[in-house]
A and B are shown apart, each in its own frame.
Chain A
Amino acid sequence: MEEITLLIDGREVKGKQGQTIIEVARENGINIPSLCYHPSVSKTGACRICLVRVNNRMLRPACVEPAINGMTVVTEDEDIVSMRKWILELLLSDGDHNCLYCDADGDCELQSLVKRYGVQEPRKDEPKRDRTVDNESSRGIKRNEYRCILCQRCVKACREIQVSNVWGFSERGFETRLIADDDQKIGESNCVLCGQCVQLCPTGALTYQTVLGRGANWELTKESSICIYCGVGCKIDFYKNREGMLVKSLGNYEGPNNGHLCVKGRFGFDFVQSPKRLSKPLIKRNGAFEEATWDEALNLVADKFAGIKAKNGPDSIAALSSAKCTNEENYLMQKFMRAVIGTNNVDHCARL
């Protein structure tokens, strides 16, 4: 693709033909605010928070405006700031954004823009309409429509990524509302709980059931790993709180999954911290398990294997390796059986 050069905020930056202004800017570390834009779904161009000044004249939405060679872009000036403030005030007054009660507090794109642009109290004159609050119907997802800014990211996540087409907008009179299927509760809809709409929601309008009471967003730390549940090998960012408890998992955009997960990858990890986990080696004595030290257990295993090998030959011992273990562990298990025990009796459940 052809390379193009733009002047953004006085800086010469490179991009490719076919990119939008926001894409070129972000690749070059220049942050243009956005709300309805998300790189993993198609463009909406609805919220206008991303307005920038193009060629010193028109204001254009950077998330849909094609970047053109030689273009000059100003990402913020006085007009733009007041425009953005006005949009944010409108969004605030239209909903009910009490961050104190919101799971997205500290991890909300609307909140951080409100802080960045110093927006004060919302206007009180707009009438509040009745909206859906549903914290119960779904096992995985909560929704609070008072925090919805109608950005459509959830609609597109469900249509373009999960492709279950649960979310849609319904128009009633002047009101546009976000509804699941034909206005069902989310837990009674065709939602398969992939959680992608929540991952893409910029506000606290959609949140996970797992996060409440598990620490504030700014206390969470994350680390990536690979999902254990199937061979797609989705890359996941796991978030844990200060006590080390898992709080949520988000799809990582660099994995084969492009940020998407399924219900297992999204909600299937608390087994790791289940109180039923084994925490001590066990040795069966007179038909019952007793806790043992590692030394006792390992010595016993080594002695038994050595004894059985000496008496019945190496082929009287076999190992089951595991498709849930790492490459390193599988390698070591087959090496152990071949080089130490002396048999090829090693298999795993690839077949099963």
Chain B
Amino acid sequence: MTNSIREIPSSAGFLVIGSNTTENHPVMGSMIKNAVINNGKKLIVVDPREIELSRYADYYFQIKPGTNIAILNGFMHVLIKEGLYDKTFVETRTEGLQELAKALEKYTPEYVAGICGLDNPEDIRKAARLMAELKPMALYYSMGITQFVSGVNGVKSTANLQMLLGNMGVPGGGVNPLRGQNNVQGACDMGALPVSYPAYQPVANEENKAKFEKAWGVNGLSVKPGLTIVEMFNAAIGGQLKAVYAMGENPVMSDPNQHHIIEALKSLEFLVVQDIFLTETAQYADVVLPSCAFLEKQGTASNTERRVQPMHKVLPPWGDARDDWWIISQIANRMGAKWDYKKSEDIFEEIRKVTPSYAGITYERIEKELIQWPCPTTDHPGTQYLHKDRFSRGLGLFTAIDYTPPAEGTDDEYPMILTTGRILEHFHTGTMSRNSRILDELVPEGFVQINPNDASNYNIADNEVISVSSRRGSIRIKAKITDKPKPNVVFIPFHFYEAAANVLTNDALDPACKIPEYKVCSCRIEKIA
């Protein structure tokens, strides 16, 4: 997030797009509800499914899955056509408006409504006018923006809109991605990415190579960017990749196109899985290493607003389980490294040396202070919101972006759109939440949400077990009839191995950041009996 959670009360309004906040980030969802319901703040929601927040929205756009960019362009078209954008901000802080305006020319509300499947183009105008009045408006998004082949462009579009509205670099504004797991932010910051060292320092750069060789006391660091998760599995099937070391990940459940992943795991020569349970992925491992669960660990995690927080050891390790860092060090040292970390803080001290944005953060400070990176020195208070007087590149750059349709279109054989996501009671692959008694009892099994229209067309009853198929596979699953999805769209939460949504999903990748297109693929529903 460019901005902070505690700024929610200072926003005049919110645009929530592709985020079912009250289920996936419930505590923030409640803060937004409090602002809107109890304090009269404005709310605009864009989501293919009716979600709780859409009930309180001043404008709600139930778009076709995969058409975010079109509607964002539509809003911007109106802002420019009607001269409602923040001219001072655009003049002094940005460049590239002309190219953007040109690209937006054709995105009239009528054209956009056609793409997004909306009945009332006038609402796009009205919502854009409302946005222009909201000083400042905060934009929140989540996987509903990123999990498309056009994901990176979706993110850029949100930035375009917020710059146009002058909502960057002010408290209560900003472009705010909500991270789905507790330390996605930190994993990225720490360089658990194929293209960058800690603090996003590119690996394909000789200076960075030299810097890290010196810091780590090694030679010959690779300048060749590595493989992303989905590419790894393709390379496994292709025979180039021989071994995988998976720490706390369960790709059989979490990754798209499950059959393909299993084939990949089976083609590996050697698979190590380090986890707290014998997960679906661990079944295919040659060696399984038991690790400590988060409550058995000391360390730090960085939340969605870049706040670095301490985690304490609440419980002793389970059985013979060990800290993940200990296990990695042991393997490293058996391969000739001379690492001598005695506790997690030793590692954090090293992180501070090579990660400029974390340099001023210490274990001692985060026990008493709220610190958000960048925090370059120990007397720096941290950064509540980014881009205050300038963007990292100086002027903010508008990027002209065209709407492109999802990779997989519907046809006679697969006439419906499948979209996937999470529900309030469960998390990700279910490894944790489905092993928690109360959560498991609350929602014990998977389901597919189907609109009443479709249900009657296919003669499907509520709770009937039906079959859902895509070009990649087929599952049996209970139907829940609800008007939350539009006709022709079905939704499946992906937490349940017995009815795994990712048997069906598409592994087509966004060309720039390689996110698979989970949020939309085409499918077919059928009665079984």
Contact = CB atoms under 8 A, between A and B. Distances in A.
Contact of B325 (A160, A268, A299, A332): A332
B182 A226 contact: yes
13 contacts: A209-B438, A227-B182, A232-B178, A256-B6, A263-B26, A269-B436, A274-B435, A318-B235, A319-B245, A319-B247, A323-B181, A331-B350, A332-B328
Nearest to B220: A342
B174 interface: no
A225 B312 contact: yes
Interface residues of A, number: 108
B187 A325 contact: yes
Nearest to B5: A256
B529 interface: no
A233 B307 contact: yes
B295 A264 contact: no
Interface stretch (B28-36, B73-81, B454-462): B28-36
Interface in B405-458: 424-427, 431-439, 441-442
A319 B246 contact: yes
Q: Which residue of B27, B300, B336 has the most chain A CB atoms within 10 A of its CB atom?
A: B27
A163 B30 contact: yes
A351 B146 contact: yes
Contact of B247 (A269, A312, A322): A322
A100 interface: no
Chain B contact-residue range equals 35 or more
A209 B225 CA distance: 50
B438 A230 contact: no
B47 interface: no
Contacts of B314: 223, 225, 238, 240, 246
A339 interface: yes
Contacts of A338: 197, 203, 212, 216, 221-222
Contacts of B218: 339
Contact of A305 (B180, B297, B331, B516): B331
Contacts of B434: 271
A126 to B, nearest CB: 36
Nearest to A222: B314
A267 to B, nearest CB: 4
A139 B242 CA distance: 46
Contacts of A162: 30
Contacts of A240: 314-315
B442 A312 contact: no
Contacts of B319: 277-280
Interface in A221-242: 223-235, 238, 240
Q: Which residue of A238, A298, A299, A326 has the most chain B CB atoms within 10 A of its CB atom?
A: A326
Contacts, number: 453
Contact of B227 (A244, A308, A330, A347): A347
Interface string A122-143: 0000000000000000011000
A244 B436 contact: no
Contact of B181 (A231, A244, A333): A231
B140 to A, nearest CB: 12
A327 B183 contact: yes
A162 B157 CA distance: 31
A332 B370 CA distance: 25
B433 A264 contact: yes
A264 B422 CA distance: 12
B309 A235 contact: yes
A66 interface: no
Contact of A273 (B180, B285, B318): B318
Given A231-B303, A328-B300, A263 B442 contact: yes
Interface in A205-262: 209-210, 223-235, 238, 240, 244, 246, 254-257, 260-262
A194 interface: yes
A270 interface: yes
Interface in A289-305: 289, 294, 297-302, 304-305
A327 B315 contact: no
Contacts of B190: 327, 330-331, 334
A261 B27 contact: yes
Contacts of B309: 226, 233, 235, 255
B401 interface: no
Interface stretch (B269-277, B388-396, B466-474): B269-277
A157 to B, nearest CB: 11
A343 B321 CA distance: 28
A277 B276 contact: yes
A315 B225 CA distance: 10
B414 to A, nearest CB: 23
B182 A324 contact: yes
B433 A304 contact: no
B244 interface: yes
Contact of A333 (B192, B212, B316): B192
Contacts of B427: 229-230, 264, 268
B206 interface: no
A268 B377 CA distance: 37
Contacts of B320: 279-281, 294
A90 interface: no
Contact of A283 (B182, B254, B286): B286
